Structure 1
């Protein structure tokens, strides 16, 4: 056996407990942060409520805290590229060590599903699964034909198309049955296979595979005649189909849809859009001045108390860093989406995590954490910050969300007796410089739960 010695140069960053705490604070929602601070007040005598400021909206008042945090924490906005965070020169592409901290309760189902799969799938299959999920809409349906996506994925990932399709089948029939389905029928069929195998399931599968149009028309008698079975059997099969989910996407278990607490608000004042933090989203805390002064002048060793004091300081600085990041990120989002705030959905501009990250000098994972589960209050309502991101439509300078809003407006304005067909809508949009295919119009119409032109047609009133 021959032994060799090789010199290797690598740049790494040690994620200290303080820095890890600062990163974790980023992803806490307003209720989670409130609980975190109340627990800190109970267990750490060095902290006390800060009731001096009762202002509901606030900017960044604690400049000294921010400066100290930036110097002592080597804040996460100064971390090098993700390749160095991963441990150096072992390749690995865009792996971010910070991203391995779980983003609990993310609003993006793709992240939640990939986190679940990471326990059982290998890295290669996870990478292929991510391709399919990245090309699925919010309901888990593929945005383009399966064959076209498989061909593009094989080229982009340098794998065989059959291997890529095999991974899609694992997703389709996995723990979230129906994810990465080509359409509603395939999604429902995947869920159907999870039910007990009997005659009713067999008939339901035949309906989905052969007669889904008749199912949509609610013509039970025609279904029974076409399949040569009794109407009662058809009704049992349809009841089974209706018990399935229309979408494979599962909501987070901890999601509370009762109410939301906005983390930031935006108003149009003095000719400009101004962003402010919601000061009532979480209790404000500060160091107990008498404890700090007493400990500073106390003789002897007080290791436990000094540890509590350091913990309190880091928590306060971590919150200041979180607020600073949230405010700067929201300011960029508001500046880039000013058209949306002023004119509505049709004016929402294409915007990605990378563009915002470059604007504030941070990594994409930091922007993802600070926007997940955070809500903004605007004159157009209160919604999650992630709604201000939009994917650019292929071959166009507008976002898919804006085109979807245009499709909805055209349908809302159509005459009831002469609804617009999908190809007509595509032609009207082309006159505005937005060139999309008829199938894209159909996809957006389905996402808006709007039926086809034939089903929207209403008879004209007699004169």
Structure 2
């Protein structure tokens, strides 16, 4: 060996295609995983849905034929420290596998947005006067002239406030009746013959359509059957109650379900986190019997086995991380966000035995269904407030919301007073931190809540 040769060792990990695929799978949401699986099924003839559990072959998930556990119950340490049935708590059924994001009421959104849009306190007061006259359906019950007489606001101010509310709210909101609501929704749609015909049906009288006088209306408007069918289909897509809580974005598919089973909380993977796939046993046996001559099919068989093993490892990692999270945050299940304790990614990584970046991938875009609702796994992480404080910043935010929701009418608490209340509970934060939490939750400052609060709480 030459004298100038230097031996070097490296701890760098070689990223194989299989490892790269596993890393990618960990980062996929349930919805993205569904899309990915559909692409696998379209491109690899060896893969198929496993519709019959009793027909599972050795080519399923584990090389030894054993599937990964699909649920983990809380161990005895949980029983010693917390019982979900204690204190009269009810037993909850497992949540539905598909859930929507937390509903957003148009009334609550407007309560948050109007203070940012109004240029003066007078304009804001007029806007909230109109908003208070809108019922739970999203309809404006009062005539603006009567409202002006009762409130002392000029009619012109209320007209401007109504226009601003309609601009910020979903189409059809703040209409005076169903026909006007439908017209506003149709006006917001792209123009087409069906939309124009639907508007003509509304003008002809919705009560006639409800009274089964469709043929009479059709003859009077001289619509053929095809045009009438398209116009009616357009009307059916409209929302008769635009004031109801709505959801934004795509549905949320929970990857994990936490629910009590036989008196103990159980962490279970949902069907969205564990798509049931298998290698087609007939094709696999044919490839094995054909010998080395089936190169392309043999490659697909090997790839299918890698993909299934990747799914198993993803599910196993997700389940262990979720279980570790709720071992630390089990009090949340009884008391909500106010019981959240400080939790960092590195703590879960150390307990599960994976890298911190793996925990980050597993918890980003993954959701858990609990009796308290659907939450992203990231929701349960947060820093604390120093030595001796067991509360996390998530708990502090929940307390800020509770303090504000319990304010006396006409006496809103400013940020300094809220900070003082938190300090009494051992959570010492600056006034500006309270302001940051409040703004993140869409809650106006105290000087505006004096007007907005009664409406916000009713929403």
The TM-score normalised by the length of structure 1 is 0.54
Residue 258 of structure 1 and its aligned partner are, at CA, apart by 2.8
Give the Cα–Cα distance (whole angstroms) in 1 for the partners of residues 44 and 362 of structure 2: 26
Q: What is the aligned partner in structure 1 of residue 86 from structure 2?
A: none
Q: What is the aligned partner in structure 1 of residue 419 from structure 2?
A: 426
Residue 256 of structure 1 and its aligned partner are, at CA, apart by 7.7
Give the Cα–Cα distance (whole angstroms) in 2 for the partners of residues 337 and 452 of structure 1: 31
- Whether the 8 Å contact between 2:61 and 2:309 is mirrored in structure 1 is no
> Tell me, what secondary structure is at the counterpart of 2:368?
strand
Runs ≥4 residues deviating over 6 A: 65-69
Instruction: Specify which structure has the bigger relative contact order, considering alpha-carbon pairs within 8 angstroms and separated by 6 or more residues.
Output: 2
2:308 to 291, 312, 316: 316
2:372 to 380, 397, 422: 380
Give the Cα–Cα distance (whole angstroms) in 2 for the partners of residues 359 and 66 of structure 1: 27
Q: What is the aligned partner in structure 2 of residue 207 from structure 1?
A: none
The TM-score normalised by the length of structure 2 is 0.55
Q: What is the aligned partner in structure 2 of residue 286 from structure 1?
A: 278
Give the Cα–Cα distance (whole angstroms) in 1 for the partners of residues 257 and 352 of structure 2: 19
Q: What is the aligned partner in structure 1 of residue 187 from structure 2?
A: none
Give the Cα–Cα distance (whole angstroms) in 1 for the partners of residues 289 and 65 of structure 2: 26
Q: What is the aligned partner in structure 1 of residue 92 from structure 2?
A: none
Q: Deviations over 1:354-402 (max 9, x none)?
A: 1111110000111111111111111011121111112223454311111
1:417 partnered with 2:403: no
Q: What is the aligned partner in structure 2 of residue 447 from structure 1?
A: 440
Residue 426 of structure 1 and its aligned partner are, at CA, apart by 2.0
Residue 341 of structure 1 and its aligned partner are, at CA, apart by 1.6
Residue 312 of structure 1 and its aligned partner are, at CA, apart by 0.6
Q: What is the aligned partner in structure 2 of residue 14 from structure 1?
A: 14
C-alpha distance 290-53 of structure 1, shift in aligned 2 (>3 A)? closer
Q: What is the aligned partner in structure 2 of residue 126 from structure 1?
A: none
Residue 280 of structure 1 and its aligned partner are, at CA, apart by 4.7
> Tell me, what secondary structure is at the counterpart of 1:15?
coil
C-alpha distance 38-445 of structure 1, shift in aligned 2 (>3 A)? closer
Give the Cα–Cα distance (whole angstroms) in 1 for the partners of residues 451 and 25 of structure 2: 54
- Whether the 8 Å contact between 1:416 and 1:456 is mirrored in structure 2 is no
Q: Deviations over 1:158-195 (max 9, x none)?
A: xxxxxxxxxxxxxxxxxxxxxxxxxxxxxxxxxxxxxx
Where do residues 88-237 of structure 1 align in structure 2 (5 Å cutoff)? Answer: 215=119, 217=121
1:362 partnered with 2:354: yes
> Tell me, what secondary structure is at the counterpart of 1:338?
coil
- Whether the 8 Å contact between 2:273 and 2:315 is mirrored in structure 1 is no
Q: Extract unaligned runs of 5+ from structure 1.
A: 55-60, 70-211, 221-234, 244-254
Give the Cα–Cα distance (whole angstroms) in 1 for the partners of residues 24 and 413 of structure 2: 49
Q: Extract unaligned runs of 5+ from structure 2.
A: 55-59, 69-115, 125-159, 169-246, 453-459
2:317 to 297, 311, 325: 325
Tell me how many residue pairs correspond in the alignment.
279
C-alpha distance 268-364 of structure 1, shift in aligned 2 (>3 A)? same
Which sits farther off after the overlay, 315-324 or 444-453? Answer: 444-453
Residue 5 of structure 1 and its aligned partner are, at CA, apart by 4.9
Residue 23 of structure 1 and its aligned partner are, at CA, apart by 1.4
Q: What is the aligned partner in structure 2 of residue 339 from structure 1?
A: 331
Q: What is the aligned partner in structure 1 of residue 94 from structure 2?
A: none
User: In terms of Rg, which structure is larger?
Assistant: 2
Give the Cα–Cα distance (whole angstroms) in 1 for the partners of residues 293 and 410 of structure 2: 86
Give the Cα–Cα distance (whole angstroms) in 2 for the partners of residues 382 and 354 of structure 1: 24
**How well do the aligned residues superpose, as a CA RMSD in angstroms?**
3.4
Give the Cα–Cα distance (whole angstroms) in 2 for the partners of residues 213 and 372 of structure 1: 33
